[in-house]
Amino acid sequence: MKKNFKVVNNLTPSVDGKGLMQGRGVYTDDLAPQGALIVKILRSPHAFARIKSIDVSEAEKYPGVACILTKDNVPHVSFTRAGQGYPEPSPYDKFILDEYVRYVGDEVAAVAAVDEETALAAMKLIKVDYEVLEPVLDFEKAFENKSVIHPEDGIHDMFPIGFEPKKNVAAAYEMEVGNVEEELKKSEVVVEDTFYSQAQAHAMIEPHTCNARLDEHNRLVVYSTTQTPYHMRRIICKTLGLPVDRVRVIKPRVGGGFGGKQAFHGEMFVSLVTLRTNRPAKCVYTREEVFGCSYTRHPMRISLRVGANKDGVINAIDCRTLSDTGAYGEHALTVFMIVGSKVLPLYNKVKAVKFGGKVVYTNHVSAGAYRGYGAIQGNYAVESIIDELAEALHMDPIKLREINSMKEQETSPIFKIMGEGTEGTEMIMESCKLPYCIKRGRELMDWDKKYPVKKVGDHKIRSVGCAIAMQGSGIPFLDMGSCTIKLNDGGSYMVTVGATDIGQGSDTVISQIVAEALQTTMDKVIIYSSDTDLTPYDCGAYASSTTYVSGNAAYNAACKMRERLIKEAAVELKAKPDDVEFDGKVFKAGDKEISLVDLSTGRLYNNDTHQIAVTESYHGHVSPPPFMAAFGEFEFDTETYEYKMIKYVTVTDCGTTINPALAKGQVEGGIIQGYGMASSEAVIYNEKGKLLSNTFDTYHIPTVKEVGELVTEFADSYEPTGPFGAKSVGEIGIDTPPAVLCNAVYNAFGVRIHHLPITPEKIFEAMKEKK
């Protein structure tokens, strides 16, 4: 376990913090070409309808209109917008534009015009004749409903995922280890309960944005706020019938993604408009479109049965899940499976575990990837029912977790059975400081003094709740990252990576890894990401993969560069490579030496000139989970049930924190996003299926005033397979708040809220029922 780091695990400023604070115009729309056509999308007013005919003749004549796309003039090739690796575990159930529209806001046509006003005016002239169909708006009634949301031909899965569109099933999955029914029967205590989570919105502040242009080679260049530029290139090419070499995708600076920018939003339209008109085109989603026409977290119903002995040993867990993927099946199976695969292994002492259910289509906004990716939904249900079990056992809920949860060098059979849409990978926990996290968090919260509830004033009580969580670090055998390092004269390194910084700070983290491995300083590392022409392949920013997968690639590349440099220096020093020592600045062999500055400059201008550059990749075989213990304290009004967060303590094991400040940022940002889902982010549809909570005035993300004291610590941990001992930290922060709040509400009032978000109004209603 290497520990005396110079750059990694040290307080290192972000490579881009200053420039961004100073307002550099580096985001996608800042880089849109002057005079780009403005693309606006005509959207369905109906939750479910068939377009009988669409007449654009008037609209096309409107002065300033360059191009109108409809189902009648775009390629009819099914694809998935999910933005995953190939072959995707999501069904190919989407067409660029289709005969059917499947939610209020679904795409009917795209209008490209000289400016927005013109595009909107022309859009009003498009005449669409709809056959309105009966929508499915309740996901519990979707299965085998007489309304079939995907009746069309030409849709399919890429490998078996349980896709049965005629039954409104996008995916299905079942697994069992041991015999759950038998173990439940044998258990002395069995608890069961059902929980519902909502379609949380990503609500990143930068809207989905893209633009397209043709370059001097007449290649299509697409700028996009994407988390997955390489997947985007592949999918654009495949769907529009272009060779891969004719398209370049550039991901500039991205203003937050959280999974929401893994998918496609407008890229097909700007590409087609540019290809057809030979003009640049751009599309910027309005805030209403970001909420109502991109995608959301999968809402779910999770039913659990947990059996234990009186001594607190959990014997069996049965988890039945129903997930609502909305109109299209992006990430339907994989998010669903994570409910089980990244939550249930926490309790690895069980003799039997069962997980399964269906992912159904409805006529709601489509669901897709969102930070936490099933784990937050699962965590809400599992970590709530663990508290119910503790109560049934008359046991301290922390003790119950300590007895049953994962420890270092242990494993879970689930790892092998369940992966992301496929079979999983066996893993022993080389690093798992969960017991420490629990113990330390309990101290930091002063749990023993606060649990379960204390009166603190007239109408004021304070209660606490806890939860534990795990996630993964990339997708083993699927995710690949790579890194090219080029030596500049003067001894600095140009690092290019396909890894996509979407605000999480991966450019900084990767630079640190390179600087540490090459024993140099951050000012000698220049990083550029991500551009399919210029940077090597990376699967993209998802599945908590960047620090671990792309970081390992950067580490490999840096080690390779070091090896190369020593060989080059050996030639100069007329020594054997093994005899050359390199401290990051100077190569020494015996009494001879040459500086990196001289070597690098010489290689470009003087002797034996050639470019020194290396490219390395990384492909994971395991996905070491980070772990977390979380403890929340809340103050409640006993008459109105309004509450506020007083304190939220987390202790995280993410291995080495490559950048401790950014790691803290990931955890705390995750917590507050999760807290929004837990507390205030209600998703409201009207009876016709129109999303009403589609602005920041109607969908309430936490503001600075909702945040209590955040106490964020990290366990001393080292993951041997990670770069300098690191695991992921991007997602795990989001997982715990729903269960922590739910448990704290129970500890305060003795009512359990089964539907997220847990609003004061729901506590009020539950209390009325209780009385």
Partner 1 sequence: MLVKFNLNGLDVEINVKPGEYLLDTLRNYGVKSVKKGCDGSSCGACTVLVDDKPVLSCSLLTAKVEGHKVMTVESIQDEAAALSECFSREGADQCGFCNAAFALMVHALKKENPHPTDEEIKDYMVGNLCRCTGYQSQQKAIKAFLGGKK
Partner 2 sequence: MKAKSFLRASSLEEAYKLVKESPRNKIVAGGLWLKKGNADVDTLIDLSLLGLEKIEDKKDYVEVGAMVSQRELEKSPLVPEVIREATKAIMGPAFREIATVGGSVYGKYGFSDIITVLLAHHVELVFYPEAVITLDEYVKKPGFYDGILTNIRIFKDKNKAYFKKVEITALDYPILNVAVVKGKEYKVVVGSRPLVAALCENSTKYLNEGGKDFAKAAELAVEELKFGDSIATKSAYRKQLALTYVRRALEEVSK
Residue 112 is given by DSSP the state E
Starting from the edge strand earliest in sequence, which strands make up the sheet with 592-595, in order?
A: 581-582, 586-589, 592-595
**Nearest-approach distance from CB 215 to partner 1, in angstroms:** 22
- Pick what 668 binds: partner 1, partner 2, none; C-beta below 5 to 8 Å, kind-dependent: partner 1
Give the DSSP H or E segment for 312: none
Is the sign of the CA dihedral 762, 763, 767, 770 positive or negative? positive
- Least Cβ distance, residue 117 to partner 2 (angstroms): 7
For partner 2, give the closer residue by CB, 543 or 645. 645
Instruction: Check: CB of residue 499 under 8 Å from CB of residue 482.
Output: no
Report the amino acid identity of residue 150. H
Cβ closest to partner 1, residue 491 vs residue 674: 674
Which structure tokens are listed for 734? Answer: 């989001």
Of partner 1, partner 2, none, which one does residue 608 interact with (CB within 5 to 8 Å by kind)? none
Judged by the rule CB under 8 A, the positions of this chain that interact with partner 2 are 117, 637, 639-640, 642, 680, 684, 692-693, 696-698, 700-706, 759-761, 764-765
Both tokens assigned to 340: 């089980």
Contacted by 248, from partner 1, partner 2, none: CB < 5 to 8 Å by type: none
Identify what 206 binds: partner 2, partner 1, none; CB under 5 to 8 Å per kind.
partner 1
Dihedral, CA atoms, 737, 742, 745, 751, nearest 10 degrees? 170
Determine the Cα–Cα distance for residues 135 and 687; give it in Å rounded to an integer. 10
Contact present, 92 and 235 (Cβ < 8 Å) = no
Shortest separation between residue 706's beta carbon and partner 2, angstroms: 6
Smaller CB separation from partner 2, 189 or 692:
692
Q: Which does 642 bind (CB under 5 to 8 A by kind): partner 2, partner 1, none?
A: partner 2
Residues that bind partner 1 (CB under 8 A): 11, 13-14, 16-18, 20-25, 27, 29-30, 202-207, 253-256, 258, 284, 286-287, 502-505, 508, 660-665, 667-673, 695-697, 701-705, 707, 709-710
In sequence order, the 6+-apart residues with CB closer than 8 A to the CB of 529 are 251, 496, 497, 498, 499, 500, 501, 506, 507, 510, 535
We find the least distance from the C-beta atom of residue 711 to partner 1, in angstroms, to be: 10
- The least distance separating partner 2 from the CB of residue 759, rounded to whole angstroms, comes to 7
User: Angle of helix 375-392 relative to helix 397-404, nearest 10 degrees?
Assistant: 110
Contacts of the segment 6-9: beta carbons below 8 A, 24+ positions apart: 6/516, 6/519, 7/512, 7/515, 7/516, 7/521, 7/522, 8/512, 8/513, 8/516, 8/656, 8/658, 8/659, 8/724, 9/656, 9/657, 9/658, 9/660, 9/724
Distance CA 129, CA 119 (A): 20
* Residue number with CB closer to partner 2 (514 or 741): 741
Rounded to a whole number of angstroms, the minimum distance from the CB of residue 3 to partner 1 is: 22
Which is nearer to partner 1, 433 or 664 (by Cβ)?
A: 664
Q: What, of partner 1, partner 2, none, does residue 665 touch, CB below 5 to 8 Å by kind?
A: partner 1
Which residue's CB is nearer to partner 1, number 179 or number 286?
286
Tell the smallest beta-carbon distance from residue 715 to partner 1 (Å).
Answer: 17
Q: Which does 680 bind (CB under 5 to 8 A by kind): partner 2, partner 1, none?
A: partner 2
Q: Closer to partner 2 at the Cβ: 392 or 707?
A: 707
Q: Which is nearer to partner 1, 206 or 616 (CB)?
A: 206
Shortest distance, position 658 Cβ to partner 1, whole Å? 13
Q: How far apart are CB 505 and partner 1 at their closest, in Å?
A: 6
700 binds, among partner 1, partner 2, none (CB under 5 to 8 A by kind): partner 2
CB atoms within 10 A of CB 711: 15
Toward partner 2, which CB reaches closer, 284 or 701?
701
Q: How far is the CB of 504 from partner 2 (least distance, A)?
A: 24
Task: Give the nearer residue to partner 2 in terms of CB position, either 186 or 700.
Answer: 700
Q: Are 420 and 338 in contact (CB under 8 A)?
A: yes
**Pair 464, 450: CB distance under 8 Å:** yes
**Other CB atoms within 10 A of residue 703 CB:** 11
